[in-house]
Amino acid sequence: MTFLEIFQNGGPVMYPLLACSIIVLTVIIERAIFWLQIARKLNRNLLNEVLTASQDGDWDKIREITKGCQDHIIRMLVVGILHRQFSMVKAMEAEAESTVKNMRKYMIIMDTMITVAPLLGILGTVIGIIASFNILGNSGISDPKAIIGGIAQALISTAAGLTISIATVFPYNYFNSKIANSIHAMEKYATSLEVVYEKNQGADK
One DSSP character per residue, 127-173 reads HHHHHHHHHHHHHTTS-HHHHHHHHHHHHHHHHHHHHHHHHHHHHHH
Q: How confident is the model at residue 162 (pLDDT cuts 50, 70, 90)?
A: very high
The rounded percent of the chain whose pLDDT value lies above 90 is: 45
pTM: 0.83
Whether the per-residue pLDDT at 144 is higher than 70: the answer is no
Residue 56 parent element (H or E): none
Spatial separation of the C-alpha atoms in residues 87 and 135, rounded to whole Å: 72
Q: Is the four-CA dihedral 30, 36, 41, 47 of positive or negative sign?
A: positive
SS3 state at 177: helix
Residue 149: its pLDDT value, please? 59
Q: What are the C-alpha distances in Å from 114 to residues 21, 66, 67, 168?
A: 10, 41, 41, 6
| pLDDT confidence of residue 196 | 81
Domain ranges of the chain: 13-198
CB atoms within 10 A of CB 67: 7
